[in-house]
Amino acid sequence: MILSGKAKLAGVMGWPVGHSRSPRLHGFWLEKYGIDGAYLPLAVAPEKISQALRALPSLGFQGCNVTIPHKEAVYKAVDHLTERAKKIGAVNTVIVNEDGALTGDNTDGYGFIENLKAGAPEWKAENPAVVLGAGGAARGVLVALQEAGVSDIRLTNRTVERAEALAADLGGITVIDWEDRSDCLKDAGLLVNTTSLGMTGQPPLEMSLEGLNNSAVVTDIVYSPLKTSLLEAAETRGNTVVDGLGMLLHQARPGFAAWFGKEPEVTDDLRQFVLEDL
């Protein structure tokens, strides 16, 4: 790709950053839409994060994504926060405003819900949702579900205190003991795995889906493997399943639109392109 002197710049700050799929994903869109711009991997050590962020306006960057381990530090370092970033308590997208101030956004929950709607258009927020896991990823999912109108959320986590803390903070959540995770599926319209169980190299997620309605949607934020054993089991019994790759793709859309001025689309060829390098 040949850049002009006016090329728009963005990137992803992480430490390490080599594992990030974001340069490939944004690079695909830049190429597809013929945009004069670049999206770079930015390896920023934790002690340099504030300095690196403050350099964005000076260098003429439009903004950046931030990934592990910077999401909480950036939350504290930016000048403005969007409402959804405030609710999630972490930032994954930074936008440089015209006056050089930095706005922190969090698009993880947005990516989750957009992926769910795209993969399971029949899903309805009226029915209870069962959420497995209370780690960093769970918070974005819970906030997005509540914003979409889910008023009955059953949350279960190995370490019950983490689930209780989230429930106390967000409200509208019933905490279920981890041992009882297979027994809380009655009437649920959605089952979400936000734990790392089932991910390549991690232990499997052991769970019986016997009590789950056939009409319920099952989704996993794990995307390596793409078809986790949870999704396989759910698909075999006739449930609609939504894999986790789409969440990664959809969470990238608001940042791209803000930095490069084009609303990008999540398409099969994009999925295929990102999958080739998972």
* Total binding residues toward ligand ATR, as defined by CB under 6 A: 15
Interface with ligand ATR, residue 162, by CB under 6 A: yes
Interface with ligand ATR, residue 137, by CB under 6 A: yes
Binding residue for ligand ATR, selected from 51, 97, 159, 208, defined by CB under 6 A: 159
Indicate the residue among 51 and 208 with the shorter CB distance to ligand ATR: 208
Q: How far is the CB of 205 from ligand ATR (least distance, A)?
A: 8
Contacts of 32 (CB under 8 A, 6+ apart): 264
Q: Is the peptide bond before 16 cis (omega within 30 degrees of 0)?
A: yes
Interface with ligand ATR, residue 69, by CB under 6 A: no
Indicate the residue among 161 and 263 with the shorter CB distance to ligand ATR: 161
Long-range pairs of 77-83 with CB within 8 A, sequence gap ≥ 24: 77/49, 77/50, 77/53, 77/102, 78/53, 78/102, 78/103, 78/104, 79/103, 80/104, 81/105, 82/106
Draw the binding track, 72-91, toward ligand ATR (x: CB under 6 A; -: no contact). Answer: --------------------
Catalytic residues: 71
Binding residue for ligand ATR, selected from 133, 140, 244, 255, defined by CB under 6 A: 133
Indicate the residue among 57 and 135 with the shorter CB distance to ligand ATR: 135
95 C-beta neighbours (distance < 10 Å), count:
21
Query: Which residue of this chain has its Cβ atom nearest to ligand ATR in the complex?
Result: 135
Interface with ligand ATR, residue 136, by CB under 6 A: yes
Residue 52 parent element (H or E): helix 49-58
Q: Whose CA is closest to 233, among 250, 212, 253?
A: 212
Interface with ligand ATR, residue 67, by CB under 6 A: no
Which range binds ligand ATR by CB under 6 A, 1-9, 46-54, 100-108, 134-142?
A: 134-142
Q: What is the pairing mode between strands 173-177 and 153-157? A: parallel
Indicate the residue among 165 and 258 with the shorter CB distance to ligand ATR: 165
Contacts of 53 (CB under 8 A, 6+ apart): 13, 74, 77, 78, 94, 102
- 193 φ, ψ (degrees, to nearest 5): -100, 115
Q: What is the pairing mode between strands 80-81 and 37-43? A: unpaired
What is the sign, positive or negative, of the torsion defined by CA atoms of 57, 248, 151, 143?
A: negative
180-209 binders of ligand ATR (CB under 6 A): 194-197, 203
Residues binding ligand ATR (CB under 6 A)? 133-138, 157-159, 162, 194-197, 203
